[in-house]
Amino acid sequence: MDLSGRVAIVTGGGTGLGAEVCRQLAGAGARVCVNWSRSEAAARELAASLGDPTSAVAVQADVRDEAQVAAMVASTERAFGAPVDLLVNNAGVTTYVPADDLDAISTEDWERIFGINVIGAWHCTKAVAGGMRARGAGAVVNVASDAAILLEGSSVPYVVSKVALVALTRTLAGALAPAVRVNAVAPGWMDTPWLDRYVPADVAAALRRGDEPVVAVDRVAAEILRLLADDAANGTVVQLSE
């Protein structure tokens, strides 16, 4: 796959799936902005490993903050001297709470999860869509989850946020066509630092033992690149559960 010269932003790009997407994009010739909110050291180390500052940069932005997102896009375009034409909305959070434990979920949980998983994707897409439409080309891939299809996952707000992200994907695919293509992947469990950050130790251990299907991170990243490059794909949600 040849993405030579293309400029890409990957939110939450410093670790896990985001980092693998950044590596594969760089391997395909793209210039990559590794966005980070908390994982500064990992993001800067990854960007340095991908090349010099003309081919990879690490840029901080909390995707919940529209002004920070606009600044990230501007910083990326200054660094590379070219507009952003690929966006991967990978940043995401959850909390691990059984679905029937309603009292364990707070309003703050809902606001944080929706703020990053849904509103953050909206902010980032909005920030690049104008330029993409003006140029007549651009591609966005949102990282949803098979929780949006199975309607079960780490918590109620997480599941609902991923359903909303799928709806956002399909709505924007129609609204921004034909200039901008918007697609999504919906992976199941992956063995990334996400497990250690959000999942109880016994559940993470069971997944790593193979008690439930785990999707290979490089496979999900490869599907994201395929959707970025496929001019015929728009409004597609690809489920990758095993």
CB–CB of 63/69 below 8 Å?
yes
Cα 110–111–114 angle (5° rounding)?
80
Burial of 50 (0-12, 13-18, 19+ CB in 10 A): buried
Cα distance between residue 37 and residue 230, in whole Å: 29
Catalytic residue, candidates 114, 158, 189, 194 = 158
Cα distance between residue 99 and residue 170, in whole Å: 26
Query: Does the bond joining 83 to the residue before it have cis omega, within 30 degrees of 0?
Result: no
Cα distance between residue 215 and residue 88, in whole Å: 19
CB–CB of 144/184 below 8 Å?
yes
Catalytic residue check, 198: no
Q: Which residues are catalytic?
A: 158
